[in-house]
């Protein structure tokens, strides 16, 4: 079953589907949203492991997969599955850039796999806290849990249309940009969401 959500507000737009989540996360939308991401050729991301951390807060964001290495994600969610990270084509509108990474179990359908989405908005006036708030309002059922001291604002919740899935959202101003990270994943424990959020906040 395929469904689409839409939410438009000043400075934020999301488009998503439930079975094969495809999310656009511009913090400021100036034009008609571009089409959903197309599938990319699967590749196994091996640039980092839990013992080889990725550099914090890169000056330039060029993709999403390096923000969470496959070994790190497997360790956090507690799985022994063989995961590969599949970078999706970047979506760029003006100064806004959106990147997406699919963390796919190679032995299962990718439909329910976790996805990481990174949005970068360097425009003056973009607000990371507002972006997080608007995202949670658009996609969450109550309760929404805020994680204190992580990024400018961090929260997680169950999705309002699919109670089997959750989202973790981290907003942070870094290197003169507003950066927003969203992880869409199957429901798990609160400590799992918090571990993902802390890792992303360090690297945004």
Torsion of CA 111, 31, 29, 65, to 10 degrees: 40
Taking 80 as the threshold, does the pLDDT of residue 112 lie above it? yes
Nearest-angstrom CA–CA distance, 18 and 162:
7
d(CA 26, CA 121): 7
Cis peptide leading into residue 143 (ω within 30°): yes
Residue 124, pLDDT score: 60
- Kindly state the tokens that stand for 95: 């100064």
* Per-residue tokens: 160: 């309002």
Q: Locate 171 and state its tokens.
A: 């907003």
Contacts of 20 (CB under 8 A, 6+ apart): 2, 110, 111
First and final C-alpha spacing in the chain:
33
Q: Give SS3 for 99.
A: strand
Task: Give yes or no for residue 203 having a pLDDT over 60.
Answer: yes
Q: Quick check: helix, strand or coil at residue 70?
A: helix
* CA dihedral sign of residues 30, 34, 36, 39: negative
* More confident call, 47 vs 7: 47
Task: Considering only residues 21 and 193, tell me which one the structure prediction assigns the higher pLDDT.
Answer: 193
DSSP code for 71: H
* Helices 70-77 and 190-203, packing angle to 10 deg: 150
**Residue indicated by tokens 């656009």:** 24
The predicted structure's pLDDT at residue 182? 97
Mean pLDDT across the chain, nearest whole number?
A: 76
């Amino acid at each position: 079953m395929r469904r689409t959500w839409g939410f438009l507000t000043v400075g934020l737009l999301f488009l998503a589907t439930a079975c094969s989540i495809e999310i656009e996360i511009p913090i400021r939308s100036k034009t008609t949203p571009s089409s959903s991401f197309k599938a990319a050729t699967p590749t196994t991301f091996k640039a980092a492991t839990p013992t080889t951390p990725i550099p914090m807060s890169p000056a330039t964001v060029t993709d999403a997969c390096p923000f969470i290495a496959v070994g790190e994600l497997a360790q956090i969610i507690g799985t022994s599955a063989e995961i590969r990270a599949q970078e999706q084509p970047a979506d760029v509108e003006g100064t806004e850039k959106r990147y997406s990474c699919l963390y796919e179990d190679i032995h299962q359908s990718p439909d329910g796999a976790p996805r990481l989405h990174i949005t970068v908005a360097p425009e003056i006036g973009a607000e990371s806290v507002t972006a997080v708030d608007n995202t949670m309002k658009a996609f969450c059922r109550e309760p929404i849990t805020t994680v204190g001291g992580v990024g400018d604002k961090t929260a997680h919740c169950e999705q309002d249309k699919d109670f089997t899935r959750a989202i973790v959202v981290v907003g942070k101003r870094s290197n003169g940009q507003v950066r927003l990270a969203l992880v869409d994943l199957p429901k798990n424990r609160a400590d799992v969401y918090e571990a993902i959020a802390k890792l992303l906040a360090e690297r945004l």
